[in-house]
Structure 1
Amino acid sequence: MKLYRLLTGPDDASFCHKVTAAISKGWHIYGSPTYAFNSATGMMQCGQAVVKDVDGVDYDPGLKLSDY
């Protein structure tokens, strides 16, 4: 099964660390990053899709993707 996650966060080092942590766990960058202004916080937000192939796991809506 192919897992998909959209990582989001403020435009700071914490977002880069979040993406780096996912890559180190075997996730792969999927597509281009996004960048948008969050009017509620007054800050720029980043987003990056990541995917990972996992064998022997069937999809379940309760699956906690961050465990992979």
Structure 2
Amino acid sequence: MTTLYRCITEDDTLQFCHRVSEALSKGWSLHGGASMAFDPVKGVMRMAQPITKEVDVAYSPDLKLGQQ
């Protein structure tokens, strides 16, 4: 088994929630809490949520993490 790691980032919008929810529905698990920070260039809050998933494939830098 291999543990994969991703960090989903997005402006603090409904789209961020949908991206995290979609990953959870595909078997990913939350890895700690979400983080938020103000982006002064865009003038918006940005969100980040780390997630992990156990898979039955060998790790390779060529893995498409969003498709696992």
Match of 1:19 in 2: 20
The 5 A counterparts of 1:9-48 are 9-48=10-49
Structure 2: runs of 5 or more not aligned: none
Structure 1: runs of 5 or more not aligned: none
RMSD of aligned alpha carbons: 0.7
Aligned length: 67
CA deviations over 1:6-46 (Å, ceiling 9, x no partner): 00001010000000000000000001110001122111000
2:59 is equivalent to residue 59 of structure 1: yes
| Over 2 Å off, 4+ runs | none
% identical equivalent positions: 43
Q: Which amino acid aligns with 1:42?
A: G
For the residue of structure 1 that corresponds to 2:32, the secondary structure is strand
